[in-house]
Amino acid sequence: MSRLKSCLLLFLALFSASESIAKEEKVEELNEEFTEALLLRPLPDRKVLAHFHFRSSAPPSRMYGRHHHIFPKSIYQLVHKFKVREMELSFTQGRWNYERWGGFDPISSSNAKPPGVELWADFDVAQDQVDDSWKNLTHALSGLFCASINFLEHSTSYSAPQWSFRSFSGKLRYGTLPREAVCTENLTPWLKLLPCRDKAGISSLMDRPSIYRGNYHSQRLHLKSDEFDTSEMCNGIVLEQTLTVVLRPDTFSGQVLQPSWSLSSLFGRTVNGKCSLSSSSNVYVQFEHNLVSEGDKLRKDSEVSENEIFIHEGFQNNHLFELSLPPKRVIKEAGNLQKEGSILYEFSVDESNEFEPFDLGLSWKVPVVWSCPQAPLQASRFLLGSGNERGAIAISMKSTRSNIVERAGYDEKECWLRVGIFQMVPWYVKVYYHTLKLFLDGEPQSSTENIEKILVSPSEDKVSPGVMEVILRLPCSVNTAALTLEFDKGFLHIDEYPPDANQGFDIPSAVIHFADFVANTSFHDNFIKEVPILSRLQEEIPVVSYTEVLLVPLTTPDFSMPYNVITITCTVFALYFGSLLNALRRRVGEEERLLSGKVAKKAGPLTLMISKLSAKLRGKPWEPPKPPESGRPSTNYKLIAKIVLVAGVAAAWQFYFQ
Amino acid sequence: MEENSKTGMAEGYWLKQLSMSPYSGSMYHGSPLLLSILGPLTVKKIGGLSSDLLCSLVSVVADFISAILIRATGRSLVRAHLHNWKSLGLDKLIKHNEVVPSGDVAALVYLWNPFTIVSCIGFNTSPIENMFVIMSLYGASAGLVPLAAFGWVIASHLSLYPIVLVIPVIFLLGYGLDAPPRKLFVLNNLQIGEERSADHVELKSPSDKLSKTNFSWWRVIIFFLWASIWTSYVLILCAISMKEYGGLGAMFKRTYGFILAIEDLSPNIGVLWYFFAEVFDFFRNFFLIVFHVNILFMILPLAIRLNHRPCFLAFVYLAVSSMLKSYPSVGDSALYLSLLVLFVNELAEMQFTFFLFCGYVGISLLSPVMHNLWIWRGTGNANFYFATAMGYACFQIILVVESVSAMLNYDRKIRKLCNKV
């Protein structure tokens, strides 16, 4: 009864004002919750990053029951059916530009994904059932998201990384589909999981043409559940859906000035109020610390005397830019001594409605140039060699010379940079792992010195992909590091080629992770714990970047040839068999006997007749003999007996196999 | 182009050094023993020599030993040839200088064959396999039973197909070297016996000749004894080296299973790779059986017809299996071509020899060109290369059939001569 009451209470509460919800939540621990947020960030190359963040959570069903008001039922069933502990599915189009858009912040580390579909899942089942669970999960997700995720079912397309991902349980499976095309048919089911879909709230900004027009588009679904843990401290299931798009504002603002934009110009839509089921719906505008310090510098240059205005103080009389709406709050990142933290402006969409739509705009006042924080090494991967027999994969990493200084008190000699590489290669690219070579600044190195840890599971033809996990230990002073691996190109059966075989085959992106670096934005204030997007930004996640997808052309056989090949080959072998047998069978003097038999046919000895008939049976062209007198019936008899025997065997065979 | 190339072996050795199964990764399909012997050569540099050079050196040494053994076998074959003619009473018909020293020629042909040289440069294991095959034949022809058994066991262990050589080896041990049909000897003995029964001058020679027609079971039994000893020895060694990686079962699956199932479809000079790349999946097993049984089907007729010529029988078996084997390489052709030269005296009247020679030259020139066009330049088509492979198969077929019929004709000729005498 009390459960029912609380549910009712919750139901009512959800429709009341948001502040009351916040209070309600503090009292009632077991509540489903949904929050929405949008983070906008100007990027140095005149583009804008829009990061939608939706989070739904359901309390553990042990305490809460199975009925949910907000949390999507399909996801709940998925978690329970396949005992998923953690899962991440991303659909991506375009490639994240690490050089321009940054590679050292939480958003790039967790939302820059390889093109196509990437899925990893950690299961809470016995070790021998993990693969079955994975297969079932791929099929379920394939149905849920209208994508060919079920291709990941084959053991050739997924792998079990041991330590490259966060889980060390050995129950994690990872697979990617680099060639999967991502479009609205994948977005619509993803939106269905949101309580308001795209009808209200921030998600109503997702105008399909403007989203898919962007330079980068990544929709991601992250699922975390501790449903199956026995401990008391349970969070239940947390579903996090993010959509990260990099858009290019249309507005014309001259060559020097960064383009000004507003929500309506970016998306062609405005927000008309929040999603009423959401407990918080905020819009954030983030300015990176490089931009902030650049702004500071500009301000110092121009107004050396007036130093009373701080950049984060006023938004209206800011020197650098102007926001069209007053922020609800300004959150400053806790920067350390060297660097200034980034700044977040928080806006709430609660007050907006149809008549007063929320349309945030940003216009620049001064031309400004800045760069995004970079990962310590910038990785790219390419192919070496020509021809279709062999080649080599090279991963080259260029030092960006950033962030190394920040690391606490290492002197230059003792300083080591640990770089992890995870690479999965399909079996038809037969990598020779003994050819692994490491070059530092162009000099070949003995691999034992710089490889801290290596795990190789070589590919097995038509069974499993080749997986390599390496942790490299590079000196900090290194400028470039390169890793090369030679491979042979495999030859497939004609059925194994995709329809456009001559396009080539994709090798999934390699994952480069920097174990010693964490990308997080720490804030001073405590209240941000309540806002999921901000707590997400604060989480310490390792810096991860993905390399390009490689396109390997493979040799193709002639696809129109099977019948020709089968018939020609069989003919040649029949020729061999027949002629060799004929050569062996031929007796001494047979020819002479046959010749003499021709002459002395009238005599017609029985033996000659039999030999002639047997020659005829073997298919030799033999002119019709004279009507034989006595031999004919007996040989006919034999023939009939043979035919009956063969027919009998055939009938028995048929009978046996039915 | 080759199945057990140096890179595959290096990969297998590297995996083994990392205490993984050398067979994980579908790169290496050879014997674990070969890996422990030759594996270190793929990595180490001894005396400033690069590993490529070392591996080629091993092949050269193996080829050289093979050539010496071929020469020895050829000499004994020529001796047997002369002896047989003499014992049949035909020695007046031939002049002595007509007999070509076929052993020397065959050894030279083996050493200077471009196919041998190519397989040396590429370092696949075929020179070593060839060496053991020839060792077995030499052992059997010289009467060294343990050596014959050793060669046969190792050769079959390395590449499976030489297992059919057990039949010629048994004939060699049982009847001795190649000779005209035994019936002739019996007839001849009878004639001689009739002629010379009156004067008991030469009692030794008929008994000597009669021994040729007897099958010495004793040596065959010893051969099998030795073979079982060597087999168990090899298997124990393999079991020890494969102990941690799945035992002998895994080894059989990855070596013989790989040969029998034709899993690798990369182009070689045979025709089966393209056939199995194109054939419909539901027929795959059927054709696998057909092609393998094709080798087995011919064993019995050949053995019946050529049992008096075991060395030639071995040549035919090797030629047939190198034509129908799953992953043929040029090294196999080098072996049977040099064995063919051993019978240059007997096969003097073989037909189409010039045509065959031109064919082999043409194929060996065209095939690399087509391979290069298709694989490296991407301008050719798979069919071009397949056509050369098909042509090569046809030439091999003609070679086998013609040599067999030439040999049978030769026997007929001897019989006629005997009847005349």
For A189-250, strand residue ranges (E) read 216-225, 237-247
Q: Percentage of residues in chain A with pLDDT exceeding 90? A: 34
What is the least distance, in Å, from the CA of A320 to any CA of chain B? 57
Query: Does residue A10 carry a pLDDT above 50?
Result: no
The phi, psi pair for A428, rounded to 5°, reads: -75, -5
Mean pLDDT of B81-101: 76
Q: pLDDT band at A309, cuts 50/70/90?
A: very low
Residue with tokens 């456009």: A500
- Does residue A537 or residue A37 have the better pLDDT? A37
Query: Does residue A116 carry a pLDDT above 50?
Result: yes
Three-state DSSP at A254 gives coil
A49-to-A166, A330, A579 alpha-carbon distances in Å:
27, 19, 76
Two structure tokens written together for A291: 């931009």
B256-to-A435, B38, B130, B320 alpha-carbon distances in Å:
27, 20, 18, 19
Two structure tokens written together for B227: 């073979």
**Residue from A558, A556, A566 nearest A491 by CA:** A556
Q: Report the alpha-carbon distance of residue B162 to residue B332 in Å, rounded.
A: 11
Query: Does residue A104 carry a pLDDT above 60?
Result: yes
The residues in A 419-438 lying below 8 A from B, measured between CB atoms, are: 427, 430, 432-435
Query: Does residue A597 carry a pLDDT above 90?
Result: no
Three-state DSSP at A460 gives strand
Q: How far is CA A179 from the centre of its chain?
A: 10
Q: Report the alpha-carbon distance of residue A546 to residue B120 in Å, rounded.
A: 43
Asked whether A131 and A121 are in contact (CB, 8 A), the reply is no
Locate the chain A residue with the closest alpha carbon to B16.
Answer: A434
Q: pLDDT band at A19, cuts 50/70/90?
A: very low
Q: Which amino acid is at A86?
A: E
Q: Report the alpha-carbon distance of residue A658 to residue A652 in Å, rounded.
A: 10
What digits encode the pLDDT tens for the residues A259-274?
888 898 899 888 888 8
**Residue from B314, B68, B271 nearest B177 by CA:** B314
Asked whether B55 and B322 are in contact (CB, 8 A), the reply is no
The phi, psi pair for B176, rounded to 5°, reads: 95, -170
B404: contact with A, CB 8 A cutoff? yes
Beta bridge partners of A219: A91, A243
Q: How far is CA A462 from the centre of its chain?
A: 21
**Residue from A332, A344, A373 nearest A514 by CA:** A373
Q: Report the alpha-carbon distance of residue A56 to residue A43 in Å, rounded.
A: 29
Q: Report the alpha-carbon distance of residue B348 to residue B365 in Å, rounded.
A: 27
Q: From the candidates A457, A459, A576, which should be mutated to test the interface with B, based on the most B CB atoms within 10 A?
A: A576
Q: pLDDT band at B386, cuts 50/70/90?
A: very high
What's the confidence (pLDDT) of residue A93? 92
Two structure tokens written together for B389: 């492979």
Two structure tokens written together for A64: 């809460």
Asked whether B29 and B3 are in contact (CB, 8 A), the reply is yes
Three-state DSSP at A381 gives strand
Asked whether A346 and A328 are in contact (CB, 8 A), the reply is yes
B390: contact with A, CB 8 A cutoff? yes
Which residues have CB under 8 Å from B383's CB, separation 6+?
A558, A561
What is the least distance, in Å, from the CA of B249 to any CA of chain A? 17
Residue with tokens 């019995």: B300
- Number of Cβ atoms within 10 Å of the Cβ of B258: 22
Size of interface A-B (CB pairs under 8 A): 141
What's the confidence (pLDDT) of residue A311? 46
What are the helix (H) ranges across B143-181? 145-159, 166-175
Q: Report the alpha-carbon distance of residue A395 to residue A480 in Å, rounded.
A: 10
Q: Across all residues in chain B, what is the average pLDDT?
A: 86
Q: pLDDT band at A517, cuts 50/70/90?
A: confident
B343-to-A378, B225, B228 alpha-carbon distances in Å:
68, 31, 31
B14: contact with A, CB 8 A cutoff? yes
- Number of Cβ atoms within 10 Å of the Cβ of A406: 12
Q: Which of A283-297, A334-348, B313-327 has the lowest mean pLDDT?
A: A334-348
CB pair distance less than 8 Å for B401 and A576: yes
Which residues have CB under 8 Å from B191's CB, separation 6+?
none
Asked whether A466 and B25 are in contact (CB, 8 A), the reply is yes
Query: Does residue B50 carry a pLDDT above 80?
Result: no
Q: pLDDT band at A24, cuts 50/70/90?
A: very low
What's the confidence (pLDDT) of residue A137? 95
Question: CA-CA-CA-CA torsion for A350, A355, A359, A360, nearest 10 degrees?
Answer: -60
Q: DSSP label at B375?
A: I
Beta bridge partners of A118: A90, A176
Asked whether B75 and B103 are in contact (CB, 8 A), the reply is yes
What's the confidence (pLDDT) of residue B348? 87
What is the least distance, in Å, from the CA of B198 to any CA of chain A? 34
B408 chain-A contacts, CB cut-off 8 A: 583-584, 586
How close are the terminal C-alpha atoms of chain B, in Å?
54
- Does residue B205 or residue A155 have the better pLDDT? A155
The residues in B 244-263 lying below 8 A from A, measured between CB atoms, are: 263
Q: pLDDT band at A303, cuts 50/70/90?
A: low
Q: DSSP label at B374?
A: I
Q: Report the alpha-carbon distance of residue A342 to residue A538 in Å, rounded.
A: 13
Q: Report the alpha-carbon distance of residue B139 to residue B145 in Å, rounded.
A: 6
- Does residue B392 or residue B202 have the better pLDDT? B392
A110-to-A43, A211, A627, B45, B351 alpha-carbon distances in Å:
17, 20, 93, 46, 75
- Sheet containing strand A343-348, strands side by side: A158-159, A172-177, A116-123, A84-93, A216-225, A237-247, A47-58, A33-43, A280-287, A343-348, A329-332
Q: pLDDT band at B341, cuts 50/70/90?
A: very high
- Number of Cβ atoms within 10 Å of the Cβ of B30: 26
Q: Across all residues in chain A, what is the average pLDDT?
A: 82
Mean pLDDT of A424-444: 90
- Number of Cβ atoms within 10 Å of the Cβ of A363: 16
Residue with tokens 């012997």: B37
What digits encode the pLDDT tens for the residues A368-398?
888 888 888 899 999 998 888 889 999 999 9
B280 chain-A contacts, CB cut-off 8 A: 562
Closest partner residue to B271 among A460, A492, A569, by Cβ? A569
CB pair distance less than 8 Å for A433 and B15: yes
**Residue from A188, A227, A232 nearest A208 by CA:** A188
A173-to-A5, A60, A121, B84 alpha-carbon distances in Å:
42, 24, 6, 73
Two structure tokens written together for B107: 């050894």
What is the β-pairing status of strands A172-177 and A361-364? unpaired
What is the least distance, in Å, from the CA of A464 to any CA of chain B? 9
Q: Report the alpha-carbon distance of residue A567 to residue B275 in Å, rounded.
A: 10
Q: Report the alpha-carbon distance of residue B38 to residue B54 in Å, rounded.
A: 10
What is the β-pairing status of strands A280-287 and A33-43? parallel
Asked whether A94 and A549 are in contact (CB, 8 A), the reply is no
A562 chain-B contacts, CB cut-off 8 A: 278-280
Three-state DSSP at B81 gives helix
Residue with tokens 């503090």: A26
Q: Which of A281-295, B55-69, B196-210 has the lowest mean pLDDT?
A: B196-210
Q: Which of A20-34, A49-63, A480-494, A638-652 has the lowest mean pLDDT?
A: A20-34
A470 chain-B contacts, CB cut-off 8 A: none
A435 chain-B contacts, CB cut-off 8 A: 7
Q: Buried b vs exposed e over A580-592: b needs ≥16 C-beta within 10 Å?
A: beebbeeeeeeee
Asked whether B266 and A490 are in contact (CB, 8 A), the reply is yes
What's the confidence (pLDDT) of residue A363? 87
